[in-house]
Amino acid sequence: MRIDLHTHSTVSDGTATPTQVVDAAAGAGMDVIALTDHDSSTGWTEAATALPPGLTLVPGAELSCACYIDGQRLGMHMLAYLFDPNHAGLSAAMAEVRDGLAARAQAMVDLLRAGGEDITWEEVRELAAGDTVGRPHIAQALVNRGRIDSTAEAFQPAWLGERYYLPKPASMKVFDALRLVREAGGVAVLAHPRRKGRIVPREILARLAEEGLFGVEADHPEHDDAARKDVRALAAELNLVVTGSSDFHGTRKPSLIGDNTTDPQVYEQIVEAATGAAPITTTTSTGTVRR
């Protein structure tokens, strides 16, 4: 059984539509795929409608979070699975994050225009084609205009990496995000806690575990062997499950669906723990199924 619990579509910063994500998952021989767009559940219905026979969809989202350590902001991402998309508190928190990111992106477009770059907010919004607008969409607009050769170039200091960069707006506090996911009947797994430059300290993981964090993502494209071993050791110490995933973004990142996978027993534990929604098969017509 092949299970990938972390993918993105055009609803956030992926280049494949929700339909194309599930089609790619089927083509890669997956049995279970999670759609986890940033701070949004909008893609669930399309993915469920397009679901090929034999593939199970896990509705989810990747929440933009942060905590502060000695006054310094540490950005974090939390994977939320099988939550009730109509939960008022979680829905409002995700909408606030999306609105903040859109305002930041629009301000960066204004900076670019003031610097002589002829791109518009309308074309960036059109490229986003979803709920969450961010730097990747501005980068693509610059590529389309012929100003740079690749989206990767846009993140260099001369462009969105420094000259036209603006800090991210306030994210959900990670402990608030965990609480909201649990209140919405979902299961929370901390994404890629050992990415370079964003290493989540043990003491934060321990506090999250005490407050109901269910697991940590160990097998991730940006985790080397040492990081994966470290995450597994922490998970064993803190009694957390361990997941693996591709963090698929279509052509925006090199990883492919199924590059990393989750153990079937861990998947079953996640499903058993959830009360907000259920996995979807071709016999289910909506992404908002509740237990």
User: What are 195's two structure tokens?
Assistant: 């990415």
The pLDDT of 69-76, averaged and rounded, is 90
Residue with tokens 């301000």: 107
User: What are 178's two structure tokens?
Assistant: 């965990």
pLDDT tens-digit series, residues 9-29:
999 999 999 999 999 999 999
Q: How many residues does the chain have?
A: 291
pLDDT tens-digit series, residues 39-71:
999 999 999 999 999 999 999 999 999 999 888
User: What are 14's two structure tokens?
Assistant: 């992926």
Q: 3-94+169-273: what fold?
A: TIM Barrel (3.20.20)
pLDDT tens-digit series, residues 243-283:
999 999 999 899 999 999 999 999 999 999 999 999 999 85
Which residue pairs from 92-95 have beta carbons closer than 8 angstroms and sit at least 24 positions apart in sequence? 93/63, 93/172, 93/176, 93/177, 93/180, 94/39, 94/40, 94/41, 94/61, 94/63, 95/39
Backbone angles phi, psi at 194, to 5 degrees: -125, 30
Q: Report pLDDT for 283.
A: 58
Q: Report pLDDT for 112.
A: 97
